[in-house]
Amino acid sequence: MRILITAGPTREYLDDVRYLSNASSGRMGYALAESALAAGHEVVLVSGPVSLSPPKGALLRAVETTSEMRDAAVAAFPECDGVIAAAAVCDYKPRRRIAGKIAKTGDPISIEMIETDDVLAELGASKDGRWVLGFALEAENPRANALQKLRAKNCDFVVVNSPSAIGSETNQVELIDPTGGPVAQWSGGKRDVAEALIRWISERFG
């Protein structure tokens, strides 16, 4: 199979030097890419800014903002069999990016925020026979919230993990199907979890 994988964080700039982002290391997405390549699949890796070296053999599309990730993923998806959306994209961005650098004045400032592109929802809406597997980072009511995400974004399955996964070497995940029931659970190093998930995907969709 040819698999599209999104990984890492995105950045949304307040001005030319400051940005909003998160602490995602990209390790889960990169481990998935490595495991998929090791299993004999082709990989298109759309990655936000991380300090990791791309797996040898992956077709890397390096991006920075959510809009850039959306463009790269949408362009690559038609030539793929499915997508694993493991990226931790920013949900909001400033309505207006300030040119230069915002100066300190001693007074509070207000920044109006708007939603970013919903990359996973757009891929789900255009899947046309391809499979879509999303990641859901949930702090409360994980299964219920993950199921809501699955339905809203037209995913086939969702991998649920907790905020403790951000920046960590390990992960504990649960795979949810469209009924909201758990299909599988894996824990351990992110490479171990990635290998188990890729093995399941190969058996389910290969």
Q: Which residues contact 32 (CB under 8 A, 6 or more apart)?
A: 5, 7, 84, 86, 194, 197, 198
Residues 6+ apart with CB under 8 A from 38: 195
161 is catalytic: no
Q: Do 151 and 143 touch, CB atoms closer than 8 A?
A: no
- Token reading at 80: 């793929």
* 22, 141, 154, 161: the active-site residue: 22
Task: Determine the 3-state secondary structure of 100 from DSSP.
Answer: coil
Annotated active-site positions, please?
Answer: 22
